[in-house]
Chains A and B, each alone.
Chain A
Amino acid sequence: MGPLTDIGVLNSNWELLIALVLGIGFGYVLEAAGFSTSRKLAGVFYGYDFVVWRVFFTAALTAMVGLMYFSYLDWIDLSLIYVNKTFLGSAIAGGVIMGLGFIIGGFCPGTSVCAVAIGKLDGLIFLGGVFIGIFLFGATFPLIEEFYTSGALGSILVYDVLGISAGMFVFILILFAIVSFYLTARIQRKAKPVRY
């Protein structure tokens, strides 16, 4: 029963090797889906290409449905998997800053690595910017430390907040995803095509 490293089946050296292999798969799929080009990524914000939305949502749904069935079959202990901690203030502010960075820079950190891998110099520059940004965050950390830890809610789950069962939440999300896939495809059809 998983997660294998947490229950001591695999030691930490394996964990690093597995991470490398998973990373290769991650990078391969991102690049193959076209995430190495900023103009394709930015399409989601202008309606000419919704590939980001499709890949992102399908991946999240696949993983969450998979996790729940794994749990049902007793293949994985969901109480051991890492659940991101929620800090309301910094999560929202950070997300807004990232969104702005996304629309200006055209990448996110993971996709920029893919872009660099196939020789995109704008990706390399973006990546340089990411390092500067992280440094600036460290440098300004004392000023925002208070804010950084504000609104701490711990590892809370979204369906608990909404007060419905996990299965129901995922089901609603699936319906929402299918409708959104259909609507975005219609929008994309109407939008002026962009070549890249």
Chain B
Amino acid sequence: MDTNNATKYMNPYLAGFLLGLIMLAAYYFTGEGLGASGAFKRYEIAVLEKIAPAYVESNHFFGAHIAAKENILENRLVYMVLGVFFGGFISGAVSGRLTFKVEHSPKITKKTRVIAAIVGGILFGYGSQMGRGCTSGSGLSGMASLSLAGFIALFAIFGSGYLFAYFFRKLWI
């Protein structure tokens, strides 16, 4: 519970309600919900295009955007994730949570946490592309628009999380 912890967080239901309103606004203004991983793909293509343009064009997955001759960074998700960064920073600054640290359970070392973080990141990055979106884009926005894909994503992500939770409990509790 929040009361056990040093930092006070917003009431989760209030946060959820506000997030829902933001998502509603997103649909009202742009016709699409929230998202994150699509932006990472675009950042990545933008960088790859600078360092290895030939590779990007030959790659079916990355090259599709290039072939379509679109400006890879002129996309709402790209700006949205930029906003997420600023928003997170503002909230952290307001509640005095700005510190450089590697956060980990006291039962594991910093090194273990770092390895777990990078492995988890790789898996999430891979999965988000295969599943056409991450927790926010595929799961959250998918649910809000009542698409079947959103509910499948929700069940698959949380289901697999619970399924594997036992094996990685040492990392967290």
Contacts and interface: CB of A to CB of B under 8 A. Distances in A.
A44 B161 CA distance: 9
A179 interface: no
Interface in A54-95: 54-64, 66-67, 70, 75-76, 80-88, 90-95
A120 B88 CA distance: 11
A95 B131 contact: yes
A132 interface: yes
Interface string A90-122: 111111111111111111111011111111111
A44 B172 CA distance: 11
Nearest to B150: A84
B63 to A, nearest CB: 9
A37 B168 CA distance: 17
Contact of B60 (A5, A34, A85, A142): A142
Given A27-B91, A54-B12, A84-B133, A67 B145 contact: yes
Interface residues of B, number: 127
Nearest to B26: A22
A29 B116 contact: no
A119 B126 CA distance: 24
Contact of B33 (A2, A5, A82, A155): A82
Nearest to A43: B172
Interface string A141-169: 11011001000010111110100001001
Nearest to A144: B130
Contacts of A45: 161-162, 165, 172
A193 B3 CA distance: 10
Contacts of A26: 19, 22, 34, 80, 83-84, 87, 136
A66 B16 CA distance: 13
Chain A interface bracket (under 10, 10 to 19, 20 to 34, 35 or more): 35 or more
B109 interface: no
A15 B121 CA distance: 29
Given A105-B120, A113-B85, A97 B130 contact: yes
A122 B117 contact: yes
B122 A157 contact: no
Given A22-B80, A26-B34, A63-B23, A93 B131 contact: yes
B76 to A, nearest CB: 4
Nearest to A110: B36
A86 B19 CA distance: 24
Contacts of A127: 121
Nearest to B105: A39
A118 B114 CA distance: 17
Interface string B80-94: 111111111111100
B88 A3 contact: no
B132 to A, nearest CB: 7
B68 interface: no
Interface of B: 1-2, 4-7, 9-10, 12-13, 15-37, 40-41, 43-44, 48, 59-62, 74-77, 79-92, 95, 97-105, 113-114, 116-165, 168-169, 171-173
Given A25-B22, A97-B124, 14 more contacts: A15-B30, A17-B79, A22-B26, A82-B33, A91-B132, A99-B127, A102-B161, A104-B164, A119-B98, A133-B125, A133-B127, A136-B126, A141-B59, A157-B147
